[in-house]
A and B are shown apart, each in its own frame.
Chain A
Amino acid sequence: MAPRPKLAVWKFASCDGCQLSLLDCEDELLAVAGAVEIANFPEASSAVVEGPYDLSLVEGSITTPHDAERILAVRAQSKFLVTIGACATAGGIQALRNFADVKDFIAAVYASPQFIDTLATSTAISAHIPVDYELHGCPINKVHLVEVVSAYLMGRKPAVAAHSVCIECKQRGNVCVMVQGTPCLGPVTHAGCGAICPAYRRGCYGCYGPMETPNMPALTREWRELGADGRDIQRALRSFNAWAEPFRQESAAHDD
């Protein structure tokens, strides 16, 4: 039997939720372990096989000088590198620091701020190294993770759609909450979650970041029609994907 591809899972600034979705695969977990050699996955096992690795899954954003160095080493020993989750693909919720002065936060939070060595920004992995594939979402959908690994093994393109949440919403038979008066980020948000929030009669929170062709001003004009003010819009756009360019740019246009 040919040697199985070596899989590594790397963590940067993140909550671990996305890499845990690999362990959360349950039914597929044995199949994953059968298809790849889990060579470096500290969250799951302390046994580490040395690189290089065939497939690296990278979670988290770059927030420290140390991590900015470390990601270069990860890239150097990874043949195919996939970033997973909003932190790795957009900077995560911690990118809210990018809109303010990180020194103020450090001073407010830490008793001894002199020990904190952090960057002024939280940025996506792709801002530091070339990335082969980005899997969006906060957290990612484990079905997509299995799809990406399966596609990698077969040498095919993953079937992960980049269109709006609306298509998933309609495929599911949901009634559009926005047309019924609830501001929703679904029309500008990348599909992937299966339109969970609208299925529970809530507007989309944009967890999967911008869709492929977001028309941000058109959406926020309608939000204002529905009674949202600049603060509502800015807060909605500045969450897990705040530093994703379309969300960042549009949020800056609503400083009122």
Chain B
Amino acid sequence: MQAFKAETPGFVTDTAGLQCLFDVLADEGYRVVGPTLRDDAIVYGDIDGVTDLPSGWTDRQAPGRYALERRQDNALFGYAVGPHSWKKFLFPPIETLWSAHRGADGAMSVTVPERPADKFAFVGVRSCEIHAMAVQDKVFGEGAYVDAAYAARRSDAFIVAVNCAEPGGTCFCVSMETGPRAAEGFDLALTELIDAGEPMFLVETGSEAGRRILEQVPHAAATAAQAEAAMTVSERAAAQMGRSLDTSGIKELLQSNPEHSRWDDVAARCLSCANCTMVCPTCFCSTVEDHSDLTGQNAERVRKWDSCFTMDFSYIHGGSVRASGSARYRQWMTHKLANWIDQFGTSGCVGCGRCVTWCPVGIDLTEEVAAIRAVPDEGRSR
């Protein structure tokens, strides 16, 4: 069993303290978003307080299946990640990049829309999601072309992590070494201690901003027993992963099997619907649409989430490069698990399991990798 040890004993607070945290964040000008119930699912949306959290609910997840269930207790964070990821706030699904106007004198003016002043506080961020943000930071925030709007939203964000107690049936963060316990990348991290009946939270601080906010929230020093209980929560979670993925030599495995028969096998099941890429917290691809209006005097460029599963995505002169379903699935999975390492120095997968749960036909990438690994030399490039 994976063992965890707290670096500092941390602090404890209760549900009232958590409510106070929400209030302090709101007073500090943050737009507080977190898990809440909607449409028989736990989604991320605006929350005012503790009563907006999915108290006493959990989720049952399997490939292509998701359902809520009542818990035996009143845990506020007793579930895994749902259909949404924080990406929708940091990298909005649809965003106007600029608009242009041609004046009566023929001169062009270009306007970049004012960025909403939202400063987000994300409450309930799981360790895998912190890793996903770090992956997207490399894409949008580093290199020669920084996405300024993303970078601003990201640096403004206040992260309240929650260490997972109840991994889902499609979780495999332990395999990806991205969880279940948040090690860094948060301002505050909570571990819910439910055994006492009513939720208690062990609080760790991860930044100066986190320490400053915590000072305004009623809390006490954690006892050694409470700190140990929090470690036990993470240890239990680590032992309950619904899935596992053997990552040893995965880059070479996938890169050397472009002709494996499994790609055709999965293509027979794959809908090319793109749901996996939409729910993936690291998938970053977008398209831009240019629109001119009826007068021909106004134009705008709109960025939208796109996917390597669409035909337009790989369209170049003469047609789409990845015309077959097997080519599109291979592109997605090989990029995510192998070529990403070449490109960004990390895997593109954080083991959150969303692509498995939210695939309408339940394609499980851990199973697809295992199938290729089982016959590793079959599809070597020639």
The interface of chain A, by Cβ under 8 A from chain B, is 28, 31-32, 34-35, 146-147, 149-151, 153-154, 156, 159, 161-164, 166-167, 170-176, 178-181, 184, 186-188, 201, 212-215, 217-219, 221-222
A218-B275 contact in complex given A170-B305, A179-B64, C-beta closer than 8 Å: no
CB pair B271 A188 closer than 8 Å: yes
CB pair B312 A162 closer than 8 Å: yes
Q: How far is the CB of B358 from chain A (nearest CB, A)?
A: 6
Partner of A31, one of B93, B294, B325: B294
Which residues of chain B come closer than 8 Å to A215, judged between CB atoms? Answer: 268-272, 325
Partner of B294, one of A150, A161, A166, A180: A150
CB pair A178 B38 closer than 8 Å: no
CB pair B312 A163 closer than 8 Å: yes
CB pair A153 B296 closer than 8 Å: yes
CB pair A179 B357 closer than 8 Å: yes
Which residues of chain A come closer than 8 Å to B93, judged between CB atoms? Answer: 170-173
How many residues of B sit at the interface, in one of the four size bands? 35 or more
Closest chain A residue, CB of each to CB of B93: A171
CB pair A150 B88 closer than 8 Å: no
Q: How far is the CB of B132 from chain A (nearest CB, A)?
A: 16
CB pair A28 B294 closer than 8 Å: yes
Bound together, the chains give a CA A31 to CA B269 distance in angstroms of 46
Bound together, the chains give a CA A188 to CA B88 distance in angstroms of 24
Q: How far is the CB of B155 from chain A (nearest CB, A)?
A: 24
Bound together, the chains give a CA A153 to CA B299 distance in angstroms of 13
CB pair B312 A173 closer than 8 Å: no
A166-B291 contact in complex given A173-B43, A179-B65, C-beta closer than 8 Å: no
Q: Which of B41, B65, B272, B305 has the most C-beta atoms of chain A within 10 angstroms of its own C-beta?
A: B272
Q: How far is the CB of B226 from chain A (nearest CB, A)?
A: 36
Between A and B, 21 residue pairs with Cβ closer than 8 Å are A146-B294, A147-B291, A153-B294, A162-B312, A166-B274, A167-B307, A167-B310, A170-B305, A171-B278, A173-B88, A175-B40, A176-B66, A179-B66, A187-B273, A212-B310, A214-B271, A215-B270, A215-B272, A215-B325, A218-B271, A222-B360
Bound together, the chains give a CA A136 to CA B66 distance in angstroms of 32
Closest chain B residue, CB of each to CB of A30: B294
Q: How far is the CB of B18 from chain A (nearest CB, A)?
A: 25
Bound together, the chains give a CA A179 to CA B359 distance in angstroms of 7
Partner of A187, one of B84, B271, B296: B271
Task: Give me 8 other A-B pairs in contact (C-beta within 8 A), A34-B295, A213-B272 excluded.
Answer: A149-B294, A150-B294, A167-B273, A167-B307, A171-B304, A175-B38, A179-B358, A186-B273
CB pair A166 B275 closer than 8 Å: yes
Bound together, the chains give a CA A159 to CA B288 distance in angstroms of 9
CB pair B360 A184 closer than 8 Å: yes
Bound together, the chains give a CA A164 to CA B305 distance in angstroms of 13
CB pair A151 B292 closer than 8 Å: yes
Q: B11-46 interface mask toward A, CB cutoff 8 Å, 1 = contact, 0 = none? A: 000000000000000000000000000111101000
Partner of B296, one of A154, A161, A217: A154
Q: How far is the CB of B91 from chain A (nearest CB, A)?
A: 12
Q: Is B67 engaged at the interface, CB distance under 8 Å to the other chain?
A: yes
CB pair B278 A170 closer than 8 Å: yes
Q: How far is the CB of B348 from chain A (nearest CB, A)?
A: 18
CB pair B361 A176 closer than 8 Å: no
Give B250-299 interface residues, CB cut-off 8 Å to A.
268-275, 278-279, 289-296
CB pair B311 A164 closer than 8 Å: no
Q: Is B83 engaged at the interface, CB distance under 8 Å to the other chain?
A: yes
Q: B331-357 interface mask toward A, CB cutoff 8 Å, 1 = contact, 0 = none? A: 000000000000000000000000001
Partner of B41, one of A34, A149, A150, A180: A180
Bound together, the chains give a CA A146 to CA B83 distance in angstroms of 33
Which residues of chain A come closer than 8 Å to B274, judged between CB atoms? Answer: 163-164, 166-167, 170
Q: Is B94 engaged at the interface, CB distance under 8 Å to the other chain?
A: yes
Which residues of chain A come closer than 8 Å to B304, judged between CB atoms? Answer: 171
Which residues of chain B come closer than 8 Å to A217, judged between CB atoms? Answer: 268
Q: Which of B270, B305, B360 has the most C-beta atoms of chain A within 10 angstroms of its own C-beta?
A: B360
Which residues of chain B come closer than 8 Å to A171, judged between CB atoms? Answer: 93-94, 278, 304-305
CB pair A34 B294 closer than 8 Å: yes
Which residues of chain B come closer than 8 Å to A35, judged between CB atoms? Answer: 294-296
Q: How far is the CB of A188 from chain B (nearest CB, A)?
A: 7
Bound together, the chains give a CA A186 to CA B40 distance in angstroms of 19
Bound together, the chains give a CA A146 to CA B295 distance in angstroms of 11
Bound together, the chains give a CA A167 to CA B278 distance in angstroms of 7
Partner of B311, one of A162, A201, A218: A162
Closest chain B residue, CB of each to CB of A188: B271
CB pair A176 B83 closer than 8 Å: yes
Which residues of chain A come closer than 8 Å to B66, judged between CB atoms? Answer: 176, 179-180
Closest chain A residue, CB of each to CB of B360: A178
CB pair B271 A219 closer than 8 Å: yes
Q: How far is the CB of B98 from chain A (nearest CB, A)?
A: 15
CB pair B289 A218 closer than 8 Å: no
Which residues of chain B come closer than 8 Å to A156, judged between CB atoms? Answer: 290, 292
A173-B358 contact in complex given A164-B273, A215-B325, C-beta closer than 8 Å: no
Bound together, the chains give a CA A201 to CA B86 distance in angstroms of 23
